[in-house]
Each structure stands twice: as structure tokens, then as C-alpha cells.
Amino acid sequence: MKSTAEDLVNPSNATAAELSRRGFVVIGAAAAAALSDVACARAQEYGKPHSPIVPEDDPDISVMRPELKPNAGTPIAAYAAKPHAITPNTPGLVVTQHIWGVDATIRDFVRRMAKNGYIAIAPLLYDRLGAPSGDDASDYTTFGPTAEKMQAQGFVSTDLSAGRDWIRTQAAQNKVGITGFCMGAGIVLKQIIGNNNYQAAAMFYGSVRPGTASTDPTTATTFDFTSEITTPLMGSFGARDTSIKPEDVRAMFARLTVPHDLKIYDEAGHAFMDDTRPSYVASAATDAFARLLAWFTKYLR
């Protein structure tokens, strides 16, 4: 399935102008429970570079940087974390990077999932391309060409599969899920079309139209690919996202015949989970993380 410009959304220009970053708001009990790894009082730090939610020296986890050897292409690096206490059935999670690469946001997310009992790994999909660090970066144009080259090389699926295979070296009998953000969420969707390599998937504000752009007219066949999806899929999107149309999201999820969970947050735009950048929306991010934990508990444990 071909790559489209929709897969390479500019996150700095994909949210309705009237949406400004929101502070922490009162949330439901399930969402509040998801904040067990961070004090609510720290919420005002988010939306800009901040200290980690789960630091690398957290006593409950181990952080690793394994080298992956995919079936195609040269070896690549990865960032991984796991609980100290694991069993052969400890669930695993492949984390698919956003446009900024495996930056501070993604690394912290990997550690958060480890803190919540998962063996999590984020393959460095840019590793062969010499991309700059995404930490504190705000200029999308620095990463756009690299992302396009990454897609053109055709190694994304095998790189992610190598991450899944590495998880299995840690817990051979476990179930493995996949999740991703923005560009990575569009990639997640492609990974579950026509195969059952993952037991559950979750996508955050990624393209729901693989092979077509959001500016293309919707036809009767636009979402026919959904018949090839057999993996339970959770989706979290922003109603104020100007790049991923809510009507497309609803239409795609309505065609799914597998278990699915969709929520479109009225107060959020694109990249609302990215707690190091101004697009962050605390209420949506907190609720979506709680739903994510519940989703993977249901299908991976």
C-alpha cells in the first residue's frame, strides 16, 4: 500500500487555530487512575520540555537499547523498557514513533508502559538515515524528508516485526500489541491490514485512509480495506484536528467488523498526547491513556 502525504502530517500546523493548550481539568475516575505514575500537580509542566514522567532510573523498570536485526535492511537501534519482574506471559508492546522520531516523548511513553507492566520497545525507524534528535525540536521540515525516505526504503514493517520478535526473546509466550502516534499511527493501521501479527492495536490521530489523502473524495471503496483487519483496534482522535478529518475517522471505524473503541475528543486537535509540545491537551491525553491501559489489559493479559 503506497505512502501518502497524509502519513507525514505536519504536527505544528494540524490543529484548528482557535484551540490553545488547556491546563489540567477535572476528569473521570478511570482517567485519574492512569495518572498513578505522576502527580496531578505536575500537569502545568506539560506542553513543553519537562522532566520525565517515569525516569530511566525508576526502581521498577529496566531500560535497554537493543540492536534489532530485521529480515531486510541493516540492523537498527531501539529503545526498550520492561518491568524488573517478568514471566513468560508478560505482555509486550511495539511503539511506533511520531514524525520527531524516538524522542523524549516516545522514550517516556515506553517507560510508562513498562511501569504499567509491559515489555515495550520503540524501534528507531530513522536509524539508517542519520536524522537529527527530535528532543525539543519544533521544526517539522527538518524531519519531513527523512520520514519520506524512511517510507520509500520499505523496511518499516520488517523493522517493527524485529521489535516484536525481540519482545518474544524476553517473554516467549506473551501477547504483543502495537501502538503509534501521528505518522506512527498511520503505520500501525497498515501493519494490521491483512495480517494478525499483533493481538491488539491502538492508534492516536493517524491517517485512516492508507493509499489516499484526506483531500481526495470519499468513494464507496475508500474504506474497503477494513474487511482485511482482524486485530482489535482502539482509536483516539481530536475533533479540532485539521489533518485527520473526524468524518473519515467515524466512517472508517464504522466499517470495522472486529472489536473496536473510538473516541474523538471535542477539546483536542492533532498530537494532543505529545506532552512536550504546545499541542498537548491534558484532559484528552489523560483519558486516552486510561483507555489505552484498559484496552491492552483486555486483549493482551
Q: If DSSP codes are grouped into helix, strand and coil, which group holds residue 212?
A: coil
C-alpha cell at 249: 475517522
Residue 270 designated active-site: yes
Instruction: Considering the candidates 127, 159, 182, 275, report the single residue annotated as catalytic.
Output: 182
Size of the chain, expressed as the number of residues it contains? 301
Q: Say which of 270, 274, 275, 287 is annotated catalytic.
A: 270
Closest CA to 241 of 250, 232, 233: 250
Distance CA 51, CA 273 (A): 16
Measured at the CA of 49, the angle between CA 48 and CA 50, to 5 degrees, comes to: 110
Distances (CA, A) of 2 to 139, 190, 197: 25, 10, 20
Quote the CA–CA distance of 195 and 177 in Å, as a whole number.
13
Active-site residue 182, yes or no?
yes
DSSP readout, 226-237? GGGB-S-EEEEE
Burial (CB count <10 Å: 0-12, 13-18, 19+), residue 232: buried
Kindly name the residue from 103, 159, 241, 275 that is annotated as catalytic.
241
Task: Tell me if residue 241 is catalytic.
Answer: yes
Taking CA 173 as the corner, what is the angle to CA 172 and CA 177, rounded to the nearest 5 degrees?
Answer: 95
Measured between alpha carbons, how far is residue 118 from residues 113, 188, 296 in Å? 5, 18, 10
Q: Which residues are catalytic?
A: 182, 241, 270
